[in-house]
């Protein structure tokens, strides 16, 4: 015989994972205050991602792609300084 291996408990299913309920939408990002070291383009991209949660899934894709492009360009600019 083989030693017991970890797996699902008797009954065949794992206990529920902690976290937000299925289908829950994220809330707005936390208010981080007025920090002079923050970057306006990054802040705008983060707000766009948070706002995308209220859109239909097809419309979210365009928001996420635009935010990604903004973040990529911003990081490229920072790397050049």
> pLDDT tens digits for 31-62?
656 555 578 888 888 888 888 888 898 889 99
Give domain limits for the chain: 40-80
Tell which wins on pLDDT, 67 or 18: 67
> SS3 letters for 7-54?
CCCCCCCCCCCCCCCCCCCCCCCCCCCCCCCCCHHHHHHHHHHHHHCC
13-16 long-range contacts (CB < 8 A, ≥24 apart) are: none
Reported pTM: 0.51
């Amino acid at each position: 015989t083989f030693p017991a291996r970890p797996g699902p408990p008797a009954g065949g299913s794992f206990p529920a994972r902690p976290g937000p309920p299925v289908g829950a939408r994220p809330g707005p990002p936390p208010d981080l205050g007025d920090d002079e070291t923050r970057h306006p383009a990054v802040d705008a991209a983060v707000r766009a991602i948070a706002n995308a949660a209220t859109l239909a899934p097809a419309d979210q894709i365009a928001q996420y792609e635009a935010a990604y492009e903004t973040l990529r360009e911003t990081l490229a600019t920072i790397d050049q300084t």
